[in-house]
Amino acid sequence: MNPSTPFPAVPPAAIEIWFEFGSNYSYLSVMRIEALCAQHALHLRWRPFLLGPIFKHLGWDTSPFVTQQRKGRYVWRDMERQCEKYALAWRKPSQFPRRALLPMRVAVLASDETWMGRFCKQVMRENFVRDRDIDSPEVVGRILRDLDLDAEAVLAAGGCAGNKARLRQQTEDALALGIFGAPMFRVGSDLFWGNDRLDEALAAASRDRT
Amino acid sequence: MNPSTPFPAVPPAAIEIWFEFGSNYSYLSVMRIEALCAQHALHLRWRPFLLGPIFKHLGWDTSPFVTQQRKGRYVWRDMERQCEKYALAWRKPSQFPRRALLPMRVAVLASDETWMGRFCKQVMRENFVRDRDIDSPEVVGRILRDLDLDAEAVLAAGGCAGNKARLRQQTEDALALGIFGAPMFRVGSDLFWGNDRLDEALAAASRDRT
């Protein structure tokens, strides 16, 4: 994608997912990607980043699905159809895009933990199925307890200065990579944008292995 | 999509393609759609419209692939991969988006002609493979002559006041339908956006038949 970028390429047989809990198309991919990586025998690297600063960099106050009304109308209809296609539950959130700083910090902290996938899927369900405020300690704490974790300890670690800085850095990395939306997949040094390109990204990662 | 629209639904076993010769993702669909409709035994309705007035309505001077540089960079890489996937030739046009008023007028005129598909595919090839100025009477005239048509007569009919008004009307219809980009497919009263949704639109049209 950007041969001039100093960013190291993703290693063979691996794929990165760059995502945000507030992003509806990220919902589709976060729910699907673990099982697909298992099928393809690919290593999955979670890369949570904040979309807000990316939109700001592009000169936008909020999601284009809000500012462009006709595109927004279309997107909610498209989401109904896509969720039906992938057999995923769906309810249009009463607030969009939802602020997700708290669970995003936990996601950065947990990126290499075995419970990362289960945590991310549950946060996505709270936003796009149960229509809950995913930026609240109550909701995130309950998700963590349901995973048999020490919720208070995880939330405290997520909120420490070093971890906050990691999320900021990862968002700057997204900018440096040329990322302009979510979800985005990285294979080698190639980018694939949107849940619509997940299958092609997986195929590319499988090819790169050989 | 818009239950309140006064627009008549597309009849069963039919699909509409709303497209522009200047649009790179329209190129992918225009090259593919005739054969796919034949496979699915669907009636194809061509609906050329001008993207410029739609962008203007959205408050944009030109294509977002031009104004959003990082998205633009991505799109040209994506086009290489998509053309490889569909075994289509591809050369990034030296001018984008290319003005296409002249061939668009011929397309409106020819929408129900047997040579419409061949004409559209050749205009697309001139833009996205041969990198030619598709808004010139020389290029469009040659395409028409290669189809064994009276190029001068067709160009004259395309430029008459009534036909110009038809293209303007079709562009206003696109706005009334909530169209915000190209290609867009219409099945019943549902919209599907982008070459990525062509397969789903065809499946929906095939289901609607029964």
pLDDT tens by residue, B73-118: 999 999 999 999 999 999 999 999 999 999 999 999 999 999 999 9
What average pLDDT does chain B have? 95
Quick one: DSSP state of residue B92? -
* Average confidence (pLDDT) over B185-196: 97
* Average confidence (pLDDT) over B28-57: 97
Q: Percent of chain A scored above 90 by pLDDT?
A: 89
* Average confidence (pLDDT) over A174-195: 96
Do A74 and B1 lie within an 8 Å CB cutoff?
yes
Do A77 and B2 lie within an 8 Å CB cutoff?
no
Cα distance between residue B205 and residue A185, in whole Å: 31
Predicted confidence (pLDDT) at residue A1 exceeds the cutoff of 70: no
- Three-class SS of residue A191? strand
Do B193 and A74 lie within an 8 Å CB cutoff?
yes
What average pLDDT does chain A have? 95
pLDDT tens by residue, A44-89: 999 999 999 999 988 888 888 888 888 999 999 999 999 999 999 9
* Residue A13, phi-psi category: left (phi > 0), alpha (psi -120 to 50), beta (remainder): left
Within 8 A of A200 by CB-CB distance, chain B residues are: 81, 85
- In this predicted structure, what is the pLDDT of residue B210? 60
Interchain CB contact of B77 with A (< 8 Å): yes
Exposure pattern of B102-131 as b/e (b: 16+ CB <10 Å)?
bbbbbbbbbeebeebbebbbbbbbbbbbee
Please tell me which residue of chain A has the smallest CA distance to B195: A196
ipTM value of the model?
0.91
Predicted confidence (pLDDT) at residue A148 exceeds the cutoff of 80: yes
- In this predicted structure, what is the pLDDT of residue B62? 87
Burial of A8 (C-beta count, 10 Å sphere; 0-12/13-18/19+):
exposed
Interchain CB contact of B196 with A (< 8 Å): yes
Q: Which residue has the higher pLDDT, B210 or A184?
A: A184
- In this predicted structure, what is the pLDDT of residue B209? 74
**What's the whole-model pTM score?**
0.94
Q: What are B22's two structure tokens?
A: 């200047």
Q: Percent of chain B scored above 70 by pLDDT?
A: 97
